[in-house]
Amino acid sequence: MTLEIITSDSLAPMRHGFFTRRGGASSGVFAGLNCGTGSSDQREIVSINRSRVADAMEVPIERLVSVHQVHSAAVRDVTGPLDEPRPKADAMVTHTPGIALGVLTADCQPVLFADTEAQVIGAAHAGWRGALDGVLEATVDAMIAMGARREGIAAVIGPSISQRAYEVGEEFLETFLAEDPQYARFFVTGNEGRYHFDLPGFGLHRLRSAGIKAEWTRHCTYSDSTRFYSYRRATHAREADYGRLIAAIRI
């Protein structure tokens, strides 16, 4: 099956893509393009999937670079392949041609950045914790330190869990309100004391407040099992594990 790659004109002409699960070699609960080396999928199958992504990005597999994601605001400057064990971080930036930055998600926000004039790119994994702690702004700051201009940076949020599918408890809400009471607008009341959180809406707010042109592709990972992996959907279905989607960008 052919790979399915979601792109945005905002990042052109940088080669980039939010890859769906279609076109991969994995089977079972991982069926499709599972690129998560941290999953319990067969390592050789994950390597095949990542090789297909590298081919689509037109880079050797060792130049499809990922970090050990830990839901932090840490950003890594990348100039070449990273040694094992991979550094712990949740975003990367580079101005080196031929390096593809790849982040893994399964409901969290994959965010790709580009200043096409300055030839600086970035990629971030932004779940609620990382977004609240500032990983998106940290990525922008790291790009600017590399020569990008704030007004020249475009950011695109890829497939993420939508507000309709993201039910949370009161403690979750209180964590955000303690940071800023205005964050209440990213929550709507659900059933039995529960709330629904707008993760991509929050990401767009943080990016735009930082002076960045930003958009969301408007794909919900939870709601479309044929195209996307979802941690929350797998949890609700009591599945033993789940696949990871990849988003990548290169100069």
Per-residue pLDDT tens over the stretch 109-141: 999 999 999 999 999 999 999 999 999 999 999
Q: For residue 116, what pLDDT is reported?
A: 98
All domains of the chain, ordered by start, with CATH? 5-162+198-250 (3.60.140.10)
Is pLDDT of 84 > 90?
no
Q: For residue 3, what pLDDT is reported?
A: 98
Q: What is the 3-state secondary structure (H, E, C) of the chain?
A: CCCCEECCHHHCCCEEEEECCCCCCECHHHCECCCCCCCCCCHHHHHHHHHHHHHHHCCCHHHEECCECCCCCCEEECCCCCCCCCCECCEEEECCCCCEEEEEECCCEEEEEEECCCCEEEEEEECHHHHHHCHHHHHHHHHHHCCCCHHHCEEEECCECCHHHCEECHHHHHHHHHHCHHHHHHEEECCCCCEEECHHHHHHHHHHHCCCEEEECCCECCCCCCCCCCHHHHHHCCCCCCCCEEEEEEC
Q: For residue 99, what pLDDT is reported?
A: 98
The pLDDT tens digits of the residues spanning 9-45 come to 999 999 999 999 999 999 999 999 999 999 999 999 9
The pLDDT tens digits of the residues spanning 133-179 come to 999 999 999 999 999 999 999 999 999 999 999 999 999 999 999 99
Mean pLDDT, to the nearest integer, of 215-235? 98
